[in-house]
Amino acid sequence: MLSWRMLRYPLAVPVALAAALVSGTCHSGPRLVRGPACLVYPDFWGTPFGIHRGTQRLLDLLLDGAVRFNDPQGAACAPMDPGTPGPPVPTFFGVNAGSGQIVYNPDLRSLAVYGGLGSGPGRFLRPHGIACLPDGTVAVADSGNDRVVFLRYLRGRLTWDHALGSPGRGAGQFLDPEGVALDSQGRLFVADTGNDRVQVFDRAGVFLGSFGADPGAANALDGPQALAVEDPLETGAHRPEAALFVADQGSARLQKFSLNGDFLSEVSGADLGRPGMRFGALALDYFGNVWATDPALDEIHKFDAHLQWIDDWGRPGDGDGRLDQPRGIAILRAYGQVVVLERACAQYLWIGADLEGLRVTHARDLARGGWARFDYRVSEGAWVWAWIEDTAGRRVATLLKRGYQSQGDQTLYWNGLADGGRPTPPGIYRVELRAEAAYSSSHYVQRAATAEFTLPSSPRPLQAAPFVQPIPVAQPTPPAQPIPLTQSPKV
């Protein structure tokens, strides 16, 4: 009755050896990135066989055509017990809606497939959202069957546990539910799309309440489709709060609620001057930022925990830095590892730190004893280096040396003096910035930003400083380093 199949990589060794011979490199220092960097690609040694894009051609090559992309939808991940000696393994689950399948990796060398089309145990009809917990609990929004299916992950294998719900409008009934989320205590949140509400259940499946169905209420919902949740007892996050994020109105609006259903805030593409923006699937990172796929604009959007826009990543097309109808997204929160499901592809990325809007002002004030000012924006809590150099690349003055800076707008100042304390002669100079995310891609990828300015004459005696220059500080509760998918995690 159950459709389950283990698929090993028969070409793993030759592919890995060939890629190593072609690259001829190993990790020897951070890779500089000068383009968008809120998401970055891992180096060769942080991926299986140096591969960070799973295309259909690659699946056919490695899996002999046994799995095909067929309307991918939701994604989820957690460190799971592999059933063998050793630590948990980062396990990713992806919904293949057109085939009624759940595709996942039971270990770091193989794939497995569970399910098929139908309505009985072990079968799904147009499944969408998926959620999981490290204890092996997996929940699937079985949209076409108007139910939520619970699976059990044990020793690298998925098995049927039970189904919750039936078609209807009563408590514990669903109409085309598309999203599910599990908090750290096992409470289930269901986007009951056809009933314009979110329903909540405890770990035993007991109905706890619902909200959203009253169109006149502040917490009204309109066809909720995607969810993301966290609670204060979440262990894989920095200072987690009690919050539920919901995408509704045909994926055009993103709202934030308390776990009791109280409305807190919202954002839409229209608010940002981009009415075509959509929120297809949601995921939270270590710092509580909200990531949303956008299958309409072929982008991924990043918001902070208050739904203030931070950054976008991706553009339409195939290849690195491009997206083709991104649907599901899953983030291994404590490590900053990300998997994105597209129309016919899956990408593996790390969360990076972007530097944006670098500009120089008041450089001419140096001649009057003032201070030059450098403003920029950091998309992620990051370690930052900053210095002044001449056009020959010789370093003149150090502004910041591996100082931790929080996500958001930042400012540095320079008094015009070189590191030795002497006035800097007139000329053309550059301010150079480097940023590494405080986790995930740290030590592997640096975002670089540069701005050129002219120093018209040597600085005069200084006026009082208009600032307190940032100094290197310890990052708050440092998250773990990314788990190379060629190794087991250390958690």
Phi/psi at 366 (5° precision): -60, -35
What pLDDT was estimated at residue 331? 97
Ramachandran area for residue 467 (φ above 0: left; ψ -120 to 50: alpha; else beta): beta
Final residue belonging to a domain, choices 320, 351, 382: 351
Residue with the larger pLDDT of the pair 443 and 10: 443
260 shares a domain with 298: yes
Tell me, yes or no, whether 96 lies in a domain. Answer: yes
Q: And the tokens for 349?
A: 């990325």
80: Cα separation from own chain's centroid: 19
What pLDDT was estimated at residue 443? 87
Q: How far apart are CA 446 and CA 355, in angstroms?
A: 10
pLDDT digits (tens, 9 = 90+) for 292-301: 999 999 999 9
Residue with the larger pLDDT of the pair 128 and 83: 128
Q: How far apart are CA 73 and CA 326, in angstroms?
A: 9
Tell me, yes or no, whether 30 lies in a domain. Answer: no
What pLDDT was estimated at residue 110? 78
400 shares a domain with 289: no
Tell me, yes or no, whether 472 lies in a domain. Answer: no
260 shares a domain with 161: yes
Tell me, yes or no, whether 419 lies in a domain. Answer: yes
78 shares a domain with 226: yes
Of 101-115, 129-143, 235-249, 269-283, give the lowest mean pLDDT range. 101-115
What CATH number did the domain enclosing 418 receive? 2.60.40.4070
The full 3-state SS of the chain, as one line of letters, equals: CCCEEEEECCCHHHHHHHHHHHHCCCCCCCEEECCCCCEECCCHHHCHHHCCEEEHHHHHHHHCCCCCCCCEEEEEEEEECCCCCCCCEEEEEEEEHHHCEEEECCCCCEEEEEECECCCCCCECCEEEEEECCCCEEEEEEHHHCEEEEEEEECCEEEEEEEECCECCCCCCECCCCEEEECCCCCEEEEEHHHCEEEEECCCCCEEEEECCCCCCCCCCCCCCEEEEECCCCCCCCCCCCEEEEEECCCCEEEEECCCCCEEEEEECHHHCCCCCCCCCEEECCCCCEEEEECCCCEEEEECCCCCEEEEECEECCCCCEECCCCCEEEECCCCEEEEECCCEEEEEEECCCEEEEEEECHHHHHHCCCEEEEEEECCCEEEEEEEEECCCCEEEEEEEEEEECCEEEEEEECCECCCCCECCCEEEEEEEEEEECCCCCCCEEEEEEEEEEECCCCCCCCCCCCCCCCCCCCCCCCCCCCCCCCCCCC
Tell me, yes or no, whether 1 lies in a domain. Answer: no
What CATH number did the domain enclosing 260 receive? 2.120.10.30
Q: And the tokens for 192?
A: 């009951």
Final residue belonging to a domain, choices 324, 351, 378: 351
Task: Please state the domain count of the chain.
Answer: 2
339 shares a domain with 281: yes
Tell me, yes or no, whether 159 lies in a domain. Answer: yes
> How does residue 370 score in pLDDT terms, banded at 50, 70 and 90?
confident
Q: And the tokens for 176?
A: 């085309």
What pLDDT was estimated at residue 49? 61
Q: And the tokens for 264?
A: 């807190």
What pLDDT was estimated at residue 233? 94
Of the candidates 140, 135, 136, 106, which has an alpha carbon nearest to the alpha carbon of residue 122?
Answer: 140
330 shares a domain with 359: no
What pLDDT was estimated at residue 461? 56
Tell me, yes or no, whether 470 lies in a domain. Answer: no
> How does residue 380 score in pLDDT terms, banded at 50, 70 and 90?
very high
393 shares a domain with 327: no
286 shares a domain with 370: no
Final residue belonging to a domain, choices 302, 325, 351: 351
pLDDT digits (tens, 9 = 90+) for 421-463: 999 999 999 999 999 998 878 888 999 999 999 998 876 655 5
Residue 176 CB partners (closer than 8 Å, separation 6+):
143, 144, 146, 193, 194
pLDDT digits (tens, 9 = 90+) for 146-202: 999 999 999 889 999 999 999 999 999 999 999 999 999 999 999 999 999 999 999
Where in the sequence is the domain holding 93, given as residue range(s)?
A: 67-351
As to burial, measured by CB atoms within 10 angstroms (0-12 exposed, 13-18 middle, 19+ buried), residue 84 is exposed
pLDDT digits (tens, 9 = 90+) for 209-268: 999 999 999 999 999 999 999 999 998 899 999 999 999 999 899 999 999 999 999 999
Residue 486 above 70 pLDDT? no
pTM metric for this prediction: 0.88
By the 8 A CB rule, do 324 and 333 touch?
no
444 shares a domain with 320: no
Q: How far apart are the first and last CA of the chain?
A: 36
What pLDDT was estimated at residue 257? 98
Of the candidates 176, 165, 183, 274, which has an alpha carbon nearest to the alpha carbon of residue 225?
Answer: 176
Q: How far apart are CA 165 and CA 186, in angstroms?
A: 17
Of the candidates 240, 246, 255, which has an alpha carbon nearest to the alpha carbon of residue 285?
Answer: 240
Tell me, yes or no, whether 26 lies in a domain. Answer: no
Beta-bridged to residue 395, according to DSSP, are 389
What pLDDT was estimated at residue 118? 97
What pLDDT was estimated at residue 477? 47
What pLDDT was estimated at residue 19? 33
Residue with tokens 């924006």: 377
236 shares a domain with 383: no
What pLDDT was estimated at residue 29? 76
332 shares a domain with 376: no
Of the candidates 445, 315, 475, 311, which has an alpha carbon nearest to the alpha carbon of residue 377?
Answer: 311
Residue with the larger pLDDT of the pair 369 and 23: 369
116 shares a domain with 227: yes
pLDDT digits (tens, 9 = 90+) for 35-68: 899 999 987 666 666 678 888 887 777 667 777 8
β 31-33/445-455 pair status: parallel
What pLDDT was estimated at residue 91? 94
